[in-house]
Structure 1
Amino acid sequence: MNKDNTFEKVVSLAKRRGFIYPGSEIYGGLANTYDFGPNGTELKRNIMNLWWQNFVSVREDMFGLDTAILMSPRVWEASGHTQSFTNVLIDCTNCQYRTRADHLIEDALPDLGNVEGLPLEKLDQIIAENKIKCPNCGKIAWTKARHFNQLFETQVGIVTSGKNTVYLRGELAQGMFVNFKQVLDSIHPKLPFGLAQSGKAFRNEITLGKFTFRTLEFDLAEFEYFVKPEEWEKWFEYWKKAMYEFALRLGLNKDHLRWREHSKEELSHYSKRTEDLEYKFPWGYKEMWGLAYRTDFDLKNHMEKSGADLRYIDPQTNEKFIPHVVEPTFGLSRLVTIVMMDSYWEDEVKKRTVLKLVPQLAPYKAAVFPLLANKPELIQKARKIFEDLKRNYRTAWDDRGNIGKRYAAQDEIGTPFCVTVDFQTLEDQTVTLRDRDTTEQVRLKTNKLGDFLKEKLQAQQF
């Protein structure tokens, strides 16, 4: 299937089936904002729960945090974000179209590769030499490239002044770094250990994104893994392998994934080494998740600026040192779209559209249908089965339209199994159980239904 075409179809399905809606749509929308609908919320939550289970719950060296979105502005000054958390902005003087200079070049000259991090003068030179036109008006009338800070500013208190300025967090990491000392003093973890959290981050993006790929606010899940300085490479490779394996467990096709290391010019101000796990979008490979070696940059800066002692004391040697940090970051908002793209399938034989989601990710694990909505005896029996199933699994109820349309709707949202209650059910206590991927149907005793689903769903767990 043409993957370019798949993207447009997934975007349409996402709205039609309640996964993702344009933000503020009844007021004309707000660029780069999206709302997750009922099914999208469940899908994102299921991904998050699996992430937490995989990287936090089952590990004795990982500890969860939930830190504030708003922090002292001194945090962002110490971390370097107020100076260095920037993108490169360029404007068309003819139509006032505004975009990122690196994205303009990459879209116009895809064979050139990634140009993020190049000096402003070099970006201007590439645009001029290649006579890159404005994608909005077609003219060549660009301003000089300049830096633009991505942090959102807001005010605390009732009086607006520079003294009251705070920032919406641009990443989750700083909340974990500033709590490093409190964690050491309260639970006394031993190196190596990690601090993990998930939540919203905010970036004032210049360029309009492609659906949830680039938005003003987004969900992240990440952890800072604190290690001895001499052991960072070992742990970098360890987490690189773990991230890739997790991507495969989510059902992503390995042929759509690759690792790409950042060039020296492209590295963030805090990183000595960064690799992106990229996904093959229709517009090329782009970042899905990131893995960064942040050295002791953050803890060292916060120690200097705050005066707090952020050193770790080795319990064996009593040596004091600032740990180094390896940071895996997982973008959840864009991952919802990626998972939908990789699970999207059109059955040309049976003329149906299916989201072949890993069962653990599916918004609903099963759906229950009474064959006819105007037969009280069928409704009563179906409701009893529905109530029993939903005690253990998120289960959908649908009594609208014909059975074929109900199957089609559940296929499109990725429900693994559908249960139909018909007149035979009233006679012999059996139901029709339909498999999403194969459409095969079997008759099953109602008292065996729960065990059957448990066995099937557990067999497909990772």
Structure 2
Amino acid sequence: MAKQQHALAKIVALCGNRGFVYQGSEIYGGLANSWDYGPYGSSLKQRIKAAWWKRFVDTCPLNVGIDSAILMNPEVWVASGHVGGFSDPMIDCRHCRSRWRADQLIEDWNKKEDRSLNADGWSNEEYLSYIRENGILCPSCGKHDFTDVRKFNLMFKTFQGVTEDNQSEIYLRPETAQGIFVNFRNVQRTSRRKIPFGIAQIGKSFRNEITPGNFIFRTREFEQMELEFFCEPGTDLEWFNYWRAFSWQWLLDIGLSEDKLRFRD
């Protein structure tokens, strides 16, 4: 673990020194989990996005593209389940006041103990019981003094207009998919498409992560290149395999080594 952290620190320093990625707001002390892309980083990112768009939209007769708004009617997020269920299990250490995702705390501990266990979807009570029964310690201070587990909604809230009340409360989108779904009929009508077809989008999303990852690999502000493909019932597995192979080949074509890639089924 120490070797990995040392290697990552060297990568962060190299990216900063070479003009790829800078610490966000660095001259004012920085902002945790905030990163700015420098001249070479922004150029690289734009080229990757352009290559993706060309392969998945411009040269693919199956798909069309859109660019939807970041701010949407709050009812979109109610209907999609994000307001009620887009949350992570949060737990605090009373001793050092650090904050953790309960499932991540358990997963990291299991890795150290060489255990194989998937804690996704557990109830708050199951998370807390496992942490207590196994005496899992706080990674920051080494103490075992945690609060109860509670749900933490990951959406960033803001206000639209001049007043700050419940009526003007809206969210920064946590994903680009909903912008595709709410525009499905508009896209189908104006592009004269029939199923099967796909809608692609590149855009920023925002998630108020409890414990964001290292460097640019898990951030609160991030950019997605997303394709939602619509097909007839019963043909989904066939199309899944098609796009799985299509995406794999695109990654190889832009220069990634096959031995560095793996599927997550």
Give TM class, smaller chain. Answer: over 0.9
Spell out, residue by residue over 1:56-77, the C-alpha distance to the aligned partner (whole angstroms, 9 max, x if none): 1101121110100001001111
Number of equivalent positions: 260
Task: Give 1:25 deviation, angstroms.
Answer: 1.3
Secondary structure of the equivalent of 1:199?
strand
Spell out, residue by residue over 1:101-128, the C-alpha distance to the aligned partner (whole angstroms, 9 max, x if none): 1111222221335423222222212211
Contact 2:212 2:220 in 1 (8 A): no
Secondary structure of the equivalent of 1:56?
helix
Contact 2:90 2:101 in 1 (8 A): yes
Contact 1:31 1:208 in 2 (8 A): no
TM alignment of 1:188-267, pairs within 5 A: 188-261=192-265
Match of 1:33 in 2: 34
Task: Give 1:6 deviation, angstroms.
Answer: 4.2
Greater C-alpha Rg: 1
- The one-letter amino acid of 2:195's match is L
Task: Give 1:219 deviation, angstroms.
Answer: 0.7
Return the alpha-carbon distance in structure 2 between the equivalents of residues 183 and 123 of structure 1: 43
Secondary structure of the equivalent of 1:191?
coil
Return the alpha-carbon distance in structure 1 between the equivalents of residues 22 and 84 of structure 2: 34
Secondary structure of the equivalent of 2:33?
coil
Return the alpha-carbon distance in structure 2 between the equivalents of residues 202 and 49 of structure 1: 22
Match of 2:122 in 1: 118
Contact 2:92 2:98 in 1 (8 A): yes
Return the alpha-carbon distance in structure 1 between the equivalents of residues 253 and 47 of structure 2: 13
Residue 148 of structure 1 pairs with residue 152 of structure 2: yes
TM alignment of 1:263-342, pairs within 5 A: none
Secondary structure of the equivalent of 1:194?
strand
Return the alpha-carbon distance in structure 2 between the equivalents of residues 113 and 14 of structure 1: 35
Task: Give 1:137 deviation, angstroms.
Answer: 1.5
Secondary structure of the equivalent of 1:219?
strand
Match of 2:141 in 1: 137
Secondary structure of the equivalent of 2:189?
helix
Spell out, residue by residue over 1:293-346, the C-alpha distance to the aligned partner (whole angstroms, 9 max, x if none): xxxxxxxxxxxxxxxxxxxxxxxxxxxxxxxxxxxxxxxxxxxxxxxxxxxxxx
Rate the CA distance shift 1:150–1:195 in 2: closer, same or farther, 3 A.
same
Contact 1:92 1:134 in 2 (8 A): yes
Return the alpha-carbon distance in structure 2 between the equivalents of residues 226 and 73 of structure 1: 25
- The one-letter amino acid of 1:126's match is Y
Contact 2:158 2:170 in 1 (8 A): yes
Contact 2:24 2:31 in 1 (8 A): yes
The answer for unaligned runs of 5 or more in structure 2 is none
Return the alpha-carbon distance in structure 2 between the equivalents of residues 133 and 256 of structure 1: 33
Secondary structure of the equivalent of 1:59?
coil
Match of 2:101 in 1: 100
Return the alpha-carbon distance in structure 1 between the equivalents of residues 177 and 143 of structure 2: 41
Task: Give 1:199 deviation, angstroms.
Answer: 0.9
Task: Give 1:138 deviation, angstroms.
Answer: 1.4
Secondary structure of the equivalent of 1:99?
strand
Secondary structure of the equivalent of 2:234?
helix
Task: Give 1:83 deviation, angstroms.
Answer: 0.9
Spell out, residue by residue over 1:133-188, the C-alpha distance to the aligned partner (whole angstroms, 9 max, x if none): 11121110011211111011100111111011111000001111111111122121
- Larger strand share, 1 or 2: 1
Contact 2:62 2:196 in 1 (8 A): yes
Rate the CA distance shift 1:150–1:201 in 2: closer, same or farther, 3 A.
same
Secondary structure of the equivalent of 1:229?
coil
Match of 1:78 in 2: 79
Return the alpha-carbon distance in structure 2 between the equivalents of residues 63 and 152 of structure 1: 29
Spell out, residue by residue over 1:256-284, the C-alpha distance to the aligned partner (whole angstroms, 9 max, x if none): 322233xxxxxxxxxxxxxxxxxxxxxxx
- % identity of equivalent residues: 47
Task: Give 1:98 deviation, angstroms.
Answer: 0.4
TM alignment of 1:394-433, pairs within 5 A: none
TM alignment of 1:152-163, pairs within 5 A: 152-163=156-167
Return the alpha-carbon distance in structure 1 between the equivalents of residues 229 and 202 of structure 2: 15
Match of 2:178 in 1: 174
Return the alpha-carbon distance in structure 2 between the equivalents of residues 179 and 130 of structure 1: 48
Does 1 or 2 have the higher relative contact order (CA < 8 Å, sep 6+)? 2
Return the alpha-carbon distance in structure 1 between the equivalents of residues 53 and 157 of structure 2: 30
Secondary structure of the equivalent of 1:95?
coil
Return the alpha-carbon distance in structure 2 between the equivalents of residues 88 and 235 of structure 1: 34
